[in-house]
Amino acid sequence: MDERKTLDARASGLMIGLCMIWGLQQVILKMAAPDISPLMQIALRSGLAAILLLPLLYLDKAAELFNRQNLQAGALVAFLFSLEFFLLAQALQWTSASHAVVLLYTAPIFVALGLHWKLPSERLSWLQWSGIALAFIGIVVTFIRGQSGTVSAIEQQMLWGDLLALAAGIAWAATTITVRLSSLAQAAVTQTLFYQLAGSFILLFGLAVFLGQASIHFTPLVIGSLAFHTLVVSFASFLAWFWLLRNYLASRLGVFSFLTPLFGIIFGVWLLDERIEPNFILGSILVLAGIVVVSLQGWLRK
């Protein structure tokens, strides 16, 4: 029997804070990109956060880091986690941070779809199916380019970046589903996070070197970005996320996830002076509305 709970005030407040942090991270990655590639930033933040996590892992008596079953699941989760952020890092080279954050946070839709087939407690109602349909219509609308039938080179680049960001959202959903359906669902939160951070550092650092994206020009912005992403994003926020995932129903956690794209768009327009196209605004509204319907179906029914 699934003992995870519906959202309470504590979880709701924590989710709002996490949404603000996650909405800001893509913007800061792109701000620092001229001096350090997003891929290298993500690799370094994962490695540094994994080191910070070691004392907590040592103190956590429930952690079984070298348990064979956990290791196998941990390796898969580390790969999927690395894939998500590799795709996101590449997306940020081609599209805006605002576009990337909206498409990345389609993940709750794919999580709901994946868990529907496996867990009775996560079965989708007809109302949730309508929300998923609404979200997919929104995704299609966000990809509309060119009013005259032609697409410029810049629009083609942004389209490619948008596709990569959407793929990153699917990879994130796959990571969440794997955690829920594997032995990691009962493993220590610190253990699951360590698998992801250590694994992604190894894989992403290697990819950054291989792709020629490993150069760094240390500036105050680069140092601040690494500190923010290491201490706040990769360490504190991910630790909080897995605690929530372990204690609350995954579909209910999406109740506030629609705030992350909103924060991302606000920060992108404010800090990066990004321009948001009318069709992308409409598509984003449809996507966010779909996420709300999927996440709030119990309350909407009442």
pLDDT, position 252:
65
pLDDT, position 190:
84
DSSP for the chain, written as a single string? ---PBPP-HHHHHHHHHHHHHHHHHHHHHHHTTTTB-HHHHHHHHHHHHHHHHHHHHHH-TT--TT-HHHHHHHHHHHHHHHHHHHHHHHHTTTS-HHHHHHHHTTHHHHHHHHHHTT-GGGPPPHHHHHHHHHHHHHHHHHT---SSS---HHHHHHHHHHHHHHHHHHHHHHHHHHHHHSGGGSS-HHHHHHHHHHHHHHHHHHHHHHTT---B---HHHHHHHHIIIIIIIIIIHHHHHHHHHHB-HHHHTTTTTHHHHHHHHHHHHHH-----HHHHHHHHHHHHHHHHHHSHHHHH-
Domain parsing of the chain, residue ranges: 9-145+152-300
Closest CA to 248 of 1, 18, 21, 2: 2
Structure tokens at 106: 């389609």
pLDDT, position 1:
44
pTM for this prediction = 0.84
pLDDT, position 228:
94
Q: Mean pLDDT in runs of 10 for the chain (302 residues)?
A: 59 85 91 94 93 85 76 92 95 91 88 80 79 89 68 80 94 91 83 91 96 93 93 86 74 69 89 88 88 67 51
pLDDT, position 43:
95
pLDDT, position 85:
94
